[in-house]
Chains A and B, each alone.
Chain A
Amino acid sequence: MEQNAKPPSDIAPSTNLRRIAIDPVSRVEGHGKITLLLDADNHIHEARFHIVEFRGFEKFIQGRPYWEVPFIVQRLCGICPVSHQLAAGKAVDQLVGVERLTPSAEKLRRLLHFGQTLQSHALHFFHLSSPDLLFGFGSDPAQRNIVGVLEKYPDLALKGVKLRKYGQQIIEAITGKRIHGTATVPGGMNKPLAAAARDALLVDIQDILAWSQDALALNEQIHTAHPEHHRFATISSNFLSMVGSGGELELYHGGLRARSATGAMIFDQFDYRGFQDILREEVRPWSYMKFPYLVELGKEQGWYRVGPLARVNNCDSISTPLAETARKRFKEFGQGGFVQDTLAYHWARMIEILHCVESIQELLHDPEISGTDLVADLGEKRRIGVGVIEAPRGTLFHHYQIDEQGLIVKANLIVSTTSNNQAMNESVRSVANEYLEGHEITEGLLNHLEVAVRAYDPCLSCATHALGKMPLQVELLDADGTLLDRLVKGSNGVIGRTA
């Protein structure tokens, strides 16, 4: 066993501040914890969201042949494996000298990606976050889960389950499996979409469209009707996303756009193959997740947000009519500026769900979707490949370098959740300052901190290229390190006081 960490302590070294930890954050995908440092007067000195696991992907991928990469890297994350397969697949296309896919291959990849985004967004709202929004942030923890939603709102929950199912069925039809299937090959796709599979998907599309509209209406209503949601965990940030050539919302392929919190353009239509010129990642000693920033704005000011909130704010339009109407209402809510409300992530996510379903419907009716010309002519091999897509949680970067034999010599991934690292930390700090200062710790309060993190839909599996975590215990110590209060969440979800 290699020594790389000292044993945890409840007192921050050399500061005499007391430490409070939420460990682990639950109802997120993957694992993380929140720690707070407070002084004797309960003032928050520090609030951090840590990613505590490490996998080492950048090293162990070295020496593998490039064509294996999409199927290895998708196993970083079982929630959005398709995103990783597609981003790696796009990088591999460059390695084999393919600039442009055949129309059928590109449409099939887009359909796959829309299915993935649909299932991931549905999972996030219905299975993970809806209990907070439907029951209240401080509601009974025993009910605050998908089982509770199924009991209290069976119709709504079941529609959510079926929305996710539909996305998974699209993935299964194209990749052969719902999770960790295979679809991309260098320069294309490995099999056409069977007409029977396409027709089967079309049977349910009207229901799916109606339910996605319901989900959007519900989230829009929840956000607009709760003024306290507008400022909850809200911060002012830059936004980064991919956009299409006309500035429209684009999830599969386009240029990068970054704008400042005031809306000023930092760059637009940037060719993502040069992303290293505009992005760097800072390492901080207390998290395995790095902190990316825009080079132009520097380490202090250059952090930004990605994901649905960034995309819907940043784009000039959405190509499908129902989602575009919804986007306009979102913009109206922002009164001409960006909507910076962190909880509006949920609303933006549902606008995207609707866009996905409309796009799926269009693609399923497109004759080229069942085309059999699926692999482009390969060109001259290249040593560097960069694949970027908008994954459900935001812009996803895959960067590979190979040797003359086609074996990986260098790899780097900036996953969506990593880009939101600083923002999640800022939001946690905001909620800590607003809700924790001077108050007695309660389970409901702790959940407020988790609600802030959940809004970002963090995928901590991806973010660390790793996994796994544990119990909730919060300790309150005074400046001398004496235990004042301890709360433990028991196996029944009930909070007990053991001090």
Chain B
Amino acid sequence: MSKIRIATTSLAGCFGCHMSFLDMDERLVALLEHVEFNRSPLTDIKHCGPCDIGLIEGGVCNAENVHVLREFRDNCKILIAVGACAINGGVPAMRNHFNLRECLEEAYVNGMGVENPQIPNDVELPLLLDKVHPIHDVVRVDYYLPGCPPSADEFLKILGDLLAGKEPSLPQNLLHYD
């Protein structure tokens, strides 16, 4: 049987969902008998190719996030929003209560101990969106895996269901939002 191909990325998140994925510890070895990784922060594959499952951590805060998210949607048969930030913007979306310029000025102009105050504005820096968005504002999402972060057991349950060709579901004892 050929392996299920999984791609992962972190947009405007904290990497905690990826860390939680790794919290499956030595169970990762058994999982690797059934899956292989495509683009992921853990590999040096930097473009998402055709995949069975895409796991998206983090919300959308700049134009580059939009680009990467669309690349994943275009290439992944199943796209899963992983964690609080992908699902509703999470902590990064706390900036939505403020004007973006205020946020930039606080960090780079009015901040404590700032030398050479200016808002970074280089061609290399991607365009920031004025608000942080959940990923379903941009693309269609097939499943939502809640939690900050979801536990390793939740990842294994969802992937196990999909590997078995079943509709994925989380039992009450695994479902949590914190």
Contact = CB atoms under 8 A, between A and B. Distances in A.
Contact of A145 (B37, B71, B119, B127): B37
A242 to B, nearest CB: 18
A447 B178 CA distance: 37
Interface string B90-111: 1110110110111110111001
B45 A493 contact: yes
A26 interface: yes
Nearest to A289: B120
B54 to A, nearest CB: 12
B164 interface: no
Given A3-B127, A27-B42, A78-B19, A56 B13 contact: no
Contacts of B13: 78, 461, 467-468
Interface string A15-45: 0000001011011111101010000000000
Contacts of A3: 127
A163 to B, nearest CB: 10
Interface residues of B, number: 82
Contacts of A365: none
A19 to B, nearest CB: 9
Contacts of A8: 123-124
Contact of B26 (A9, A161, A168, A179): A161
Contacts of A373: none
Nearest to B28: A161
Interface stretch (B61-69, B136-144, B154-162, B165-173): B61-69
A331 interface: no
Given A53-B12, A59-B103, A491 B116 contact: no
A144 B44 contact: yes
A27 B26 contact: no
Given A78-B18, A467-B14, A468-B12, A158 B26 contact: yes
Nearest to A182: B178
A399 interface: yes
B111 A490 contact: no
A429 interface: no
A333 interface: no
A116 to B, nearest CB: 12
Interface residues of A, number: 93
A5 B38 contact: no
A141 B46 CA distance: 11
Interface string B116-136: 111111111111111000000
B149 interface: yes
A282 B115 contact: yes
Contacts of A128: 42
- Which residue, of A55, A56, A79, A470, has the highest number of chain B Cβ atoms within 10 A? A56
A286 B120 contact: yes
Contact of A60 (B9, B98, B124): B98
- Which residue, of A8, A61, A283, A493, has the highest number of chain B Cβ atoms within 10 A? A283
Given A1-B129, A281-B115, A72 B91 contact: yes
B22 interface: yes
B113 A467 contact: no
A27 B123 contact: no
A264 B63 CA distance: 47
A283 B102 contact: no
A287 B108 CA distance: 11
B21 to A, nearest CB: 10
A355 to B, nearest CB: 23
A461 B112 contact: no
B43 A26 contact: yes
Contacts of B148: 75, 180
A23 B130 CA distance: 24
A393 interface: no
B46 A472 contact: yes
B175 interface: no
B9 A26 contact: no
B29 interface: yes
A180 B16 contact: yes
Contact of A59 (B43, B95, B113): B95
A27 B44 contact: yes
Contacts of A447: 44
Given A281-B115, A410-B112, A6 B123 contact: yes
A469 interface: yes
B15 A1 contact: no
Contact of B106 (A56, A162, A283): A56
Given A179-B23, A410-B112, A81 B16 contact: yes
B158 to A, nearest CB: 17
Given A54-B107, A447-B44, A466 B15 contact: no
A285 interface: yes
A78 B17 contact: yes
A127 interface: yes
B47 A5 contact: no
Nearest to B39: A491
A346 interface: no
Contacts of A328: none
A26 B46 contact: yes
A50 interface: yes
Given A281-B115, A470-B46, A470-B64, A288 B125 contact: yes
A164 interface: yes
A87 B129 CA distance: 30
13 contacts: A3-B127, A26-B41, A50-B125, A60-B103, A61-B94, A77-B15, A147-B32, A162-B25, A179-B149, A279-B113, A283-B114, A491-B45, A491-B50
Interface of A: 1-9, 13, 21, 23-24, 26-31, 33, 35, 48, 50, 52-62, 72, 75-79, 81, 123, 127-128, 141, 144-147, 150, 154, 158, 161-162, 164-165, 168, 177-180, 276, 279-288, 290, 293, 299, 399, 410, 412, 447, 461, 466-472, 488-493
Interface of B: 9-20, 22-23, 25-26, 28-29, 32, 36-39, 41-50, 58, 61-62, 64-65, 67-68, 71, 75, 90-92, 94-95, 97-98, 100-104, 106-108, 111-130, 148-149, 151-152, 178
